[in-house]
Structure formats: structure tokens, C-alpha cells
């Protein structure tokens, strides 16, 4: 009787990577099992790595999502700050792309953030799930993950706003809504102070 082998092998690269065979594949499992499967992985991806024991692939994917989710949120904040300050977010992202802030995330998500194009390529609500898994993994490992903690709170707020089924770039709308609430709260506080009895 043959032995069933289990390997976890999440991927990154999106639809473009899948159709073009350029996915990044992160596999966890026994080294011998990985070696047997490596030719199949190589047909689908250009970056294929054995990350360690079973479960390591899922952890590597969680780290990927931590970076994608928090970077997208930071870009959304930058776009919103720029626009509310009278700056063109497209011009900002163009110059950022030429410096240290340039990244694959900026290249991929940046145009949708600028256009406020939230037609889903992948529902934003999944990022809340992914970052929640990061928190669970971090707790088990005894690792502090303050960015993941902040990200979970932000994407939970996004879901509360009813935006979870839209594209990940909709985090900009969630941040814009928070900005409007801050503006309204500040205006209300100013009005209250203005009418307060001496």
C-alpha cells in the first residue's frame, strides 16, 4: 500500500501569476515529499521554496499577507493624506515608485487606490481572516506583531462598514470614512466649545 503524503503549498502572485506560471510557491512538509512534487510546482511558479515542516507553507503565506495587508493600508493612508492636502495621489505614487517605497504592492494596488477602483479581484474581508491567523501564529511563537494587530483592527473596521466584499483597495474608502468621522467629531467639539457658557 502506498503512503499518502501531505504538503501545504500556498501561493502568491494573483491571477496574473497563475495564468503566466510565475507564482511564488511556499511549501511545507517532508523534504522528500517536496522534492517529488517540485517539478509540478515549477510548472506553475518561478519562485518555489521548501519552507520547512508541514505548516511552514501556511506560515510563510501568512507572513506574505501581513506584508501585503499592512502595506496596502499604508499606501491607502498616504493616498488619502495626499488628496486631503491638495496633492495628486497619482503623482505621489509615481515618485514613490522610483524610491525606497517602491514595491510590487505599490505597482499592483496603487493604481486601484488612485482610481478608487474597488471591483473585487479578491474580497477585502479575507485579509481580516489572514491577519487573524498571523496573530494566532504569533501568539503560539511568542512573537510581537504590532503591525498585524493594527491591521486586524483596521480590516475589522472595514467589515463593519460593509466593505468586506469589495477589492482590497477599498481599505482607502474605510480610511476615508474614518477621516470623515474624525472631521465631524472635531467640528462638533468646536461647535460645543463655541456655545459653551463662559
The residues that are catalytic are 61
> To 10 degrees, what angle do helices 171-195 and 56-84 make?
50
Query: Rounded to an integer, what distance in angstroms lies between the CA atom of residue 38 and that of residue 35?
Result: 5
Q: Are strands 45-52 and 23-28 parallel, antiparallel or unpaired?
A: parallel
How many CA atoms lie less than 13 Å away from 2 in the CB half-sphere? 3
| 131's grid cell | 491577519
Going by the DSSP 8-state scheme, the letter that residue 141 receives in this structure is: H
Longest dimension (CA), the chain: 89
Amino acid at each position: 500500500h502506498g503512503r499518502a503524503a501531505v504538503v501545504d503549498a500556498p501561493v502568491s502572485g494573483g491571477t496574473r501569476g497563475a495564468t503566466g506560471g510565475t507564482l511564488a510557491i511556499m511549501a511545507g512538509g517532508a523534504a522528500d515529499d517536496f522534492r517529488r512534487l517540485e517539478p509540478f510546482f515549477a510548472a506553475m511558479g518561478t519562485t518555489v521554496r521548501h519552507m520547512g515542516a508541514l505548516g511552514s507553507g501556511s506560515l510563510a503565506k501568512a507572513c506574505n499577507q501581513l506584508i501585503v495587508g499592512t502595506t496596502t493600508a499604508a499606501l491607502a493612508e498616504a493616498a488619502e493624506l495626499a488628496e486631503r492636502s491638495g496633492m495628486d495621489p497619482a503623482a505621489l505614487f509615481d515618485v514613490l515608485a522610483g524610491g525606497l517605497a517602491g514595491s510590487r504592492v505599490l505597482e499592483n494596488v496603487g493604481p486601484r487606490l488612485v482610481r478608487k477602483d474597488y471591483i473585487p479581484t479578491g474580497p477585502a474581508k479575507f485579509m481580516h481572516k489572514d491577519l487573524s491567523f498571523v496573530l494566532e501564529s504569533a501568539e503560539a511563537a511568542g512573537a510581537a506583531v504590532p503591525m498585524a494587530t493594527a491591521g486586524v483592527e483596521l480590516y475589522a473596521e472595514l467589515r463593519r462598514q460593509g466593505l468586506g466584499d469589495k477589492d482590497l483597495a477599498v481599505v482607502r474608502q474605510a480610511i476615508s470614512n474614518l477621516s470623515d468621522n474624525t472631521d465631524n467629531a472635531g467640528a462638533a467639539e468646536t461647535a460645543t466649545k463655541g456655545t459653551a457658557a463662559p
